[in-house]
Structure formats: structure tokens, C-alpha cells
Structure 1
Amino acid sequence: MSYYNTIKELTKIVPPSLVDFSLPRDQARIPTQASSNFITNKEQGDWAENLIFRAINETSKNFIAIKYGKSDDLVAGEDGFDTFYQEFQEELDTIGKRPDILIFKKEDFNQELGYDISHIAHQTITEYVKKAIAGIEVRSSAFLIDRYEAAMQEKTERFTQLALQARDKILNEFIDLLEHPVRKKYIPVLEAITRETLSVADFKVPGWRSSERLLQLNELFKELKKSIKEIQKRDYLSITPKVEDIKVVYKWIETFNVPHFYFQVFFDKVYGISFQQILQIIADPDKEDIIFSVEADTKNQNKTTIKINSKSGMQIAYRIDEPEHESVRKEMDRGRLLFYVTFKGGTAYLNIDELRNILGIAEEEF
């Protein structure tokens, strides 16, 4: 079975409530104005893409990475951006979403086209793109994943202790109040709360105010509820394919039959996952809220985003030397000024075995 047919079969078992492949993608509105934060995020994404591009080309003897993803230095509000954006939308409907990087065997690399084909019209390079062994979508995250995980473990343990202390205090010091017929329904709820069940526990905080002790009891319930909410928040950093992107990635695979991957670049490590594994994960409802969650991304116009635990993938780079960064002043039309951050340099130290494994390359070939 071809790679495309394998992916096609997987799309049939992804719940339509999550991604409905039978429906056309939603048409995007042209952004009207860029922000400093948007440009900084774009600069960070460009840096992450270049980091992976350089790491592969500096490490492999037999494979070459080239830049392929549609990009431009124009931002919303500048002359020419509307035309660029409209052409980009038309390309999405024609061939799907270009991954940022393509990997070619050295013998298939076209020297005349060079290391950057991102600005070449898709219809002139169709057959060349089909020779690629992989397409990589590079995502960036402004976190140190090791520091984040350590902080989350400490936070979870802290709120676990606070929750169990509040539960014990209620049951030990206020049981007489809870034994009242109106309030006794809370006793089995509290007794069911353990270290193991805190991640799923829930209850309505009462509103008792008619005596000093009832007020104290009510405050303890509030503390318990607050701690449980903190424990139940997502505690992992994620690889984040937007639902709308899954459709256009599938369209690209349909067009070129080239394996597709997501690489998530943090400032200390890089993790990668195949598009095939992404579909396998989201097709399994038992993995929701364990390996992945579905959220409205407030940083991206509340677009529905699938957030997959990064460590469900492979560790592509075990260390990163952080880039240099500097502030840039950009003058827009009507004298509007934007200040943003650019990133330069940095090195990704690849985990060669994991990179080969995810791309399906034999050790002697790389």
C-alpha cells in the first residue's frame, strides 16, 4: 500500500467531530494588521526552520534539506501582502500546505534549483517534489521543555498536597456539619477523592454562609476546588497541529505521496512525530486527555488546535545552543511603529538514531 493510501485509510477512522475530511476547509480571512508579537513569533518560527535545515545539512552525508514552505517577509498591512496571501490560499486548495523543509537523497538534489525553492511556482516543481523522501513542518515553542516539566511536576505535587489537606480537614473537623441531611451528600464525594482520583474529581462548591463554621467549611471547599482545577490543567508541552492544517497537509500528501512529519523546536530540545502517528493518536478516543487534548488556541484567533504530548514523538535533538537575539524597529504605513525580536545562530545537536528512525533511513545510508 502506498504512503498516501495508508494515510487515506487513517482519515476514515478519525472522528468527524474532530476533523471532517469530507468537508472543504474553512476559508481564511485576510489579516488586516500585524502585531509586534505576531512578527516575533514569525521570526522565531523562521529561526527554528533554519535551525533544522542547517542541522541536517551539516550532519548528513547522503541527504540534503531544502527550504520549501511558502513564506514571505511581507506582513499584514504592507503593500503586496493581500496578493501574497490570496495566492497562498489558492495554493492550499490546489496542492495543499507545503511543509517547511523537504529532504532529498543527494543524487536527487537539483543543484540548479538550489537549497530554497519556497518562491518557485508549485506547477513547475511538481515532479521534483515527488522525489523527496520526507516533508517536515517545523513548529517552534518559546519554552525550555526540561524546565517546564520540572516546574509542572512540582506544581502538581504542591496542589495535590493542598487538596488532600483540605479534604482531610473537612472530614476531620467539620464532619458534624456534613452529617446534616441537607449536606451529607458531600461525604461520599470527599471520601472518593484520593491522590489517584484528583485528576478527574469534580463537585459544585456550596454557598453556605449562615454561621461562622459554615463559612469556614465553605472556604475549605473553595480551596479544594481550586487545587483540583490546577491539578487538572494540561501539564505537558505539545506538538500542535491546527485542525484546519490537518486537512491541507492531507491534501499535500494526496498530491505528492511524500511522508510528512512535524518537528517541534523548543529552546533546549527538538521532538518529532509523523503525520501518520498524529492521525493514529487522534483516531483513538481513549488517548484524549492523556496523550492529546483539543483546545481553542487563544494565541491563534481561537482556532481549534490538537495538542499532542511532545514526548509521544521522538527526541530529534538532545540539546540546543540558544540563538542570539536583538530588537528590531519596523515602520509601517501611516508612521505606525512595531518593535519585535529577531533570532540568529544557535545549534541543534541531532540524535541521529532517532532522526533516522522517524524518517525511515538505514544507518549506513544517512
Structure 2
Amino acid sequence: MKPISLFEHKLSVSIEELQLQFRGFPPLLWADFWLNPRRLRGSDFLMRWSQGLWSETRFIEAINQSELYFAIMYGPSSVAPSHDVREYELYFERLEEAGLNQLKRPDLLAFRKTDQKHIEKIVEDLGGLAELPFIPEDEMDDLLQPALAAIECENSLWKAQQMPAYGEELRPMRRLGGKPGLPKSAVLPTVIIKEEDRERLWRWQDETNIPIHIWHAFYDVGFGLSLNKAQQLIDEGLIEPTIQTFQAPGGAVSKKAIYKFYYHYAYRVGESEEDPELTAAHIIDKNGHILPYVKFEGGRFRLHPEALQVLDELAQDR
């Protein structure tokens, strides 16, 4: 089976984003599939692209507004062009042509604010943020050594505090051998990690000795979890993998595992102080086809004291 491209991997839409939209309708075969963005080429794909860029930008702004810390974009999807979806796709094709289709780096790097000018000079000397994915990490020791943490960003099209099972306490579950959990059908905020990403992020963390945290943005709040704690929850049998189906570009179907960590196990990353505007936008493809979508613009996100405490502890350890 042909490997999935970096572009498609980043913009795949899981059933997590769709299940309530289909509520009240008969079961649909396609509801079991992750949507392939190159086949979809419609509002879901474009909105996913816009939402991902918006959430990463809000996280960076929130960190940079703190007194002690700042962050930069680092992973391929973060530093890719953000003004045009076609330029975004071409950037990923350039990565693949350079033999970097298996590249997996966290989306953001967090530093002490006292290092900001030094880090910005290093990035400038390396050719700018957009060139970082093309530089081997063993040639970026000056950039990585001061990093306090790496952040992998996820996002969901939900208002977390309005999800049906938000606020429910975990209770003994038979499928977990009496360990705490919620029914599989419960709809609540979770921090999601794809199994294929988890393995590659583990390798990156081991090779760089930089702790990775996963920050999951919802429309109103964000939750975070360290990769180490995620692994601990898996090892203790508190979180099971969810198997979902993905259709590759050529039509081949494969099963993939994701882990959904209840927000009860996470720390609060932040809260929305100002909602983004959802504005109408569109692109016109080379055949003249107009594709409308909803674009995320603006908004303001403030770091929660729990997230600041996590950054403080990371700073003490490094």
C-alpha cells in the first residue's frame, strides 16, 4: 500500500469530528472512514486546514504573552505557508521530494523568554522557520539545547464545556477491568494521540531529550498531557486504543489506532478570552471550481495557571 503523504496525514479528519453531525440519521458506511483531504477538496478539508493554523497560532500567542516564556513554530505543518492552501500543499510535496515524507517533529518549541533574541538569531541564521524541516536535527543543537519542551498540537471542532459528557465523573468500567472510565459512546473532551504519531514522537523525545506535551485545542478551552503520562496511562490499562478506518489516496483501506485520553487526566492549557470569528472564504481551483469554507480568524487565548505551572516545572528541570 502506498504510504500516506505528510499533507494528507496532517489534514485527515477523524470520526471524532463527525459523529454528532450524523446523529439522528441511519448508519452511514462513510462514517467509519477518515476523510481523505485530496479526495474531499471541499469545506471539511479547507476548514480543517484553517482550524489547524488558527489553533497553533493561538497557542503560540498565549505562550508569548506570558512573562517568562515564548514559543516558535517548529514542525513541518506549523512552518508551512499559511496564506494559501495550495502553497501549503506544495510545501509538503517539496518535503517529500527531499525524502522527508517520514519526518515527524513536534509542532512548537517552548523556551525561556530570556533566550528569545538568541533563539531568533539562530533561526535567522538557519534560513528562517520554513527551512527548519530541511535541516538535520544534529545540525541544530544550538536551537534545541535551550528548549524547555516541545508541543504537539491537536484540535477539535467542539465547544468542550458543552459536550454531553463534560463534567461526568469517571466510574468503574467492566471493559477496563473495573478501572475508572466512561462508556465508549460518551462524548466528552479528550486529548487525542494517533498511534503512528506516538511512536515517532517517542523516538524524537528519546533522541533530543526534550519532553513532549500534547496540547489539544477546543473552541473554548485547551487541555494538555505529557507524552510520558500518556504512556503511563496506556501501560496501566486506563486508556485503550480506538481502531478507526482510513482510506488512502489509491482507495486502499487500512486500520489505524488512536488513543483518546479523558480530559480528567490532563491539565488545563488555557481558556478563550475572545472567540474567533468564523468568516466565509473560498478558493477557486485550476478548473474554475469554487470551493467555499469557513475560516477561523482572530480570537484570544489565555494560558491557564496549570499550564504555567507545567512550564515552570520544566524550566526547573532543564
The structure showing larger relative contact order (alpha-carbon pairs under 8 Å, at least 6 residues apart) is 1
Deviation readout 1:282-316 (Å, 9 max, x if unpaired): 1122x13xxx5423166998632111112211011
Q: CA deviation at 1:353?
A: 3.9
Equivalent position SS for 1:47 = helix
Aligned: 1:67 with 2:73: yes
- Partner letter of residue 142 of structure 1? L
Q: 1:144 aligns with which of 159, 166, 178?
A: 159
Residue 103 (structure 1) aligned with residue 75 (structure 2): no
Note the 1:1-366 alignment, pairs <5 A: 27-29=3-5, 31=8, 32-33=38-39, 34-60=41-67, 62-71=68-77, 72-73=80-81, 75=85, 80=90, 83-84=93-94, 86-87=96-97, 90-91=99-100, 93=102, 96-109=103-116, 110-112=119-121, 113=123, 117-120=129-132, 121-123=134-136, 124-149=139-164, 233-285=185-237, 287-288=238-239, 292-296=240-244, 303-357=256-310, 360-361=313-314
The alignment-based identity, stated in percent, is: 22
- Do the aligned residues in 1 keep the contact of 2:149 with 2:314 (CA within 8 Å)? no
The TM-score with structure 1 as length reference comes to 0.61
Length-normalised TM-score, structure 2:
0.69
1:214 corresponds to: none
Q: CA deviation at 1:142?
A: 1.1
SS at match of 1:241: strand
Contact persistence 2:272–2:299 (CA under 8 A): no
- For residue 35 of structure 1, what is the amino acid of its counterpart? G
Verify the 8 A CA contact 1:135 1:260 in the aligned structure 2: yes
Per-residue CA distance 1:70-128 (angstroms, 9 max, x = gap): 1334657998366335158x4364xx5221111112343323226x7243332353431
Structure 2 gaps, min length 5: 9-37, 176-181
- The aligned amino acid for 1:296 is Q
Task: State the alpha-carbon separation in 2 of the partners of residues 136 and 359 from structure 1.
Answer: 15
Residues paired across the two proteins, number: 259
Q: Which runs of 5 or more structure 1 residues have no equivalent in the other structure? A: 1-25, 154-195, 202-229
* Larger CA Rg, structure 1 vs 2: 1
The one-letter amino acid paired with 1:137 is E
RMSD over aligned CA atoms reads 3.5
- The structure with the greater share of residues assigned to strand is 2
SS of the residue 2:223 aligns to? strand
Question: In the aligned structure 1, how far is the partner of 2:270 from the partner of 2:89?
Answer: 39
Three-state SS of the structure 1 residue aligned to 2:185 is: coil
Q: What's the CA shift for 1:336? A: 2.7
Q: For the structure 1 residues 325 and 299, does the alpha-carbon distance in structure 2 shift closer, same or farther, using more than 3 Å as the test? A: farther
Indicate the SS of the match to 1:119. helix
Report how far residue 274 of structure 1 moved: 0.2
